[in-house]
């Protein structure tokens, strides 16, 4: 029996085992359990019931370990979900110990470095200025960016850390006579705050890309866009992105076409974003 003054292990705690990396202490079993290892999380709980990333030597890199229902470490064997662990209990794949770099500080991407920030809220209607097909005319419409829905996938296994769909909707309505007579034009960006290279294609086609989060590559991330025009008077659009569970680096921006410039490089994109309504998908 482990000597802990308080032992509170909840279902919510065990559900986080695959992704959490607590600051705790490795401890050896006593009496009949000598030779066995367990991990004291340092908060009145211990690791049990599955996988946990642990940085045992505090070098900023965690290894993954499997614990049974009583909290004893699996070593030099195959885990119940058919993964190999070595004599130290670390998860091994193709002869290599699997590791994950731990984030020591919040990432600062190009978005923050450019001094950009969210400047618009969901479910609020904004006046939206756009040029018509005849650049001598402008028209004012209304833009509303609606709350998004999140659909999470299974993230219970470290080899299959989950993705989630983030789906958002937007509506733009034009009421000016110029819009009816000349049409309208506008610009948008569906981007990532940490990596400017992800979405260099600005069309509405679905794209697959790779995101690296805390040292782990997520290779099946996707983005897509669909638009529905209602004559010249209204545009309804939806944006979807498949990203790792909990990832909050995505944003959508709508541009005032009077100040819009073609984003052929990083400076032109940033210049356009300074004149945009920016919404976060956090």
Model pLDDT for residues 7-25, shown as the tens digit of each residue: 122 222 222 233 344 457 8
pLDDT at position 199 is: 54
More confident residue, 219 or 16: 219
pLDDT per residue as tens digits for the range 220-250: 888 888 888 887 788 888 888 888 877 888 8
Mean pLDDT, the chain, whole residue set: 77
155 pLDDT more than 70: no
CA atoms within 13 A of residue 214's CA, in its CB half-sphere: 20
Query: Which pTM was predicted?
Result: 0.58
pLDDT value for 11: 21
Query: Would you say 97 and 86 are in contact if contact means Cβ atoms under 8 Å apart?
Result: yes
User: What's the whole-number mean pLDDT along residues 4-9?
Assistant: 22
**Could you read off the pLDDT of 61-115 as tens digits, one per residue?**
889 999 999 999 999 999 999 999 999 999 999 889 998 877 544 456 888 888 8
> What integer pLDDT is reported at residue 64 of this predicted model?
93
């Amino acid at each position: 029996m482990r000597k802990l003054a308080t032992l509170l292990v909840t279902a919510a705690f065990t559900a986080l085992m695959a992704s959490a990396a607590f600051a705790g202490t490795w401890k050896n079993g006593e009496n009949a359990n000598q030779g066995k290892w367990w991990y004291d999380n340092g908060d009145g709980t211990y690791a049990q019931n599955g996988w946990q990333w642990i940085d045992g030597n505090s070098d900023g890199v965690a290894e993954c370990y499997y614990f049974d229902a009583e909290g004893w470490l699996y070593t030099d064997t195959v885990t119940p979900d058919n993964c190999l662990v070595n004599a130290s209990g670390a998860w091994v794949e193709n002869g290599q110990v699997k590791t994950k770099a731990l984030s020591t500080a919040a990432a600062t991407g190009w978005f923050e470095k450019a001094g950009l920030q969210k400047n618009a809220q969901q479910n609020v209607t904004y006046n939206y200025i756009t040029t018509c097909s005849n650049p001598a005319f402008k028209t004012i419409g209304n833009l509303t960016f609606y709350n998004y829905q999140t659909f999470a996938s299974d993230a219970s296994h470290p080899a299959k850390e989950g993705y989630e769909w983030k789906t958002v909707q937007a509506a733009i309505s034009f009421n000016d006579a110029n819009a009816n007579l000349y049409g309208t034009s506008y610009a948008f960006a569906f981007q990532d705050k940490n990596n400017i290279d992800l979405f260099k294609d600005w069309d509405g086609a679905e794209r697959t890309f790779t995101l690296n989060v805390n040292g782990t590559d997520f290779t099946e991330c996707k983005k897509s866009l669909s638009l529905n025009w209602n004559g010249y008077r209204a545009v309804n659009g939806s944006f979807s992105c498949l990203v790792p569970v909990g990832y909050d680096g995505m944003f959508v921006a709508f541009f005032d076409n009077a100040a819009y410039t073609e984003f052929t490089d990083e400076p032109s994109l940033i210049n356009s974003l300074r004149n945009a309504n920016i919404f976060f998908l956090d």
